[in-house]
Amino acid sequence: MSKRMSRTLAAEIADRTLAVLNPNNRLLALGAALQRHGFPGAAAPPEGTLTDRAALIAWLQATYATPD
């Protein structure tokens, strides 16, 4: 993966995803946001991640970080 997700972008994506009221649609919103910013879609995050902002940000950065 050539692109690295910044903490700011991860926070923006997390905020937009969690703003979706219906929890069943949050995964769709997450996928759309990732695609919009040029990141490939990933498997669903672990249980509870789509309800906790800090956990979602951490998962995004771990999933879309480039190896150093």
Q: pLDDT by residue (tens digit) across 26-61? A: 999 999 999 999 998 777 899 889 999 999 999 999
Angle, CA 36 vertex, CA 65 and CA 50 arms, to 5°: 65
Residues 63 and 42: beta-carbon distance below 8 Å: yes
State whether the Cα torsion 65-41-30-49 is positive or negative.
Answer: negative
pTM score, two decimals? Answer: 0.86
At 1, list the tokens. 């993966």
Q: So what's the pLDDT on residue 41?
A: 75
Determine the Cα–Cα distance for residues 38 and 45; give it in Å rounded to an integer.
18
Determine the Cα–Cα distance for residues 20 and 53; give it in Å rounded to an integer.
13
